[in-house]
Amino acid sequence: MVEVSTSILSMQQGDEAETILKLEKSKTDYFHIDVMDGKFVEKNTFNKMREYSEYIKRISNLPLDVHLMVEDVETAISVFETIQPNIITFHLEACKDENEVIQTIKRIKESNIKVGIAIKPNTKIEEVYKYIPYVHMVLVMTVEPGKGGQTMITDMLEKISKLKTYIEENEYDIDIEADGGINLATAERVKKAGANILVSGTAILQAVDYKTIIYELKK
């Protein structure tokens, strides 16, 4: 069984409480919080995602899986660490050099929060290998970051399986999260490639029955 992290990026305004409680009852494993700053990606969801996160913390005990699509990672960490997420994931491409990546990993760990590192579709998987000993998860974007409802870039499947092979050959024990365009049609191939946490937003939020689709995605 893999785990499902539901992205609340496209949650309908107005029925957030009902949606969050329904998702919890439907056994999502995490809430995936897509933080965008309007610079690293076009949209700016920073304040909305902060509000949603604070609200979820008040009404649910489920862990938060924070995905930072921001240029100023340090500021975003200092804002989102206060809601004590389970994990904070930042983009390799937001760091200017190896030293900044290492410093950012340390900064998140200092807050007793697990660390994830994310890579965009055009970033080679080999670029993340050197950080694997220090992180808890690699997030492989299976769409261009910036919005929900996109179609998966299937070339990313090979990237996921290369990462899985590398992790197994070197006997690391970290999660592989696939993020973007994941639905019942694509989930099988993503799991087969080696992802053990699936992010899904549109496919779940548009489903009539959250419980069924989350169960099917996990199976």
Residue 85 binding ligand DX5, by CB under 6 A: no
Q: 40 vs 209, which CB is nearer to Zn ion?
A: 40
Helix/strand/coil percent split, the chain, to 5: 45, 20, 35
Among 70, 89, 179, 217, binds Zn ion (CB under 5 A): 179
Among 37, 65, 175, 179, binds ligand DX5 (CB under 6 A): 179
Nearest CA to 205 among 217, 197, 213, 195?
213
**Parallel/antiparallel/unpaired status of strands 137-141 and 114-119:** parallel
Residues 6+ apart with CB under 8 A from 59: 17, 20, 21
Residue 148 binding ligand DX5, by CB under 6 A: yes
Q: Do residues 172 and 133 make contact, with C-beta atoms less than 8 angstroms apart?
A: yes
Q: 145 vs 194, which CB is nearer to ligand DX5?
A: 145
Piece of the chain touching Zn ion by CB under 5 A; list 60-68, 109-117, 170-178, 187-195: 60-68
Residue 180 binding ligand DX5, by CB under 6 A: yes
State how far the Cα of 71 lies from the Cα of 53, in Å rounded to an integer. 20
Piece of the chain touching Zn ion by CB under 5 A; list 31-39, 81-89, 128-136, 153-161: 31-39
Among 200, 207, 214, 217, binds ligand DX5 (CB under 6 A): 200
Least spacing, CB of residue 16 vs ligand DX5, in Å: 16
For residue 183, with 0-12 CB atoms within 10 Å meaning exposed, 13-18 middle and 19 or more buried, which class applies?
buried
Residue 116 binding ligand DX5, by CB under 6 A: no
Residue 34 binding Zn ion, by CB under 5 A: yes
Of residues 137-176, those binding Zn ion (CB under 5 A): none
State how far the Cα of 47 lies from the Cα of 124, in Å rounded to an integer. 31
E strands, the chain, are: 3-7, 30-36, 64-69, 87-91, 114-119, 137-141, 175-179, 197-200
Nearest CA to 184 among 142, 151, 144, 214?
214
Residue 150 binding ligand DX5, by CB under 6 A: yes
Q: 47 vs 165, which CB is nearer to Zn ion?
A: 47
Among 2, 3, 4, 9, binds ligand DX5 (CB under 6 A): 9
Enzyme catalytic residues: 34, 179
Contacting positions for Zn ion (CB under 5 A): 34, 67, 179
Contacting positions for ligand DX5 (CB under 6 A): 7, 9, 32, 34, 67, 69, 143, 145-150, 179-182, 199-203
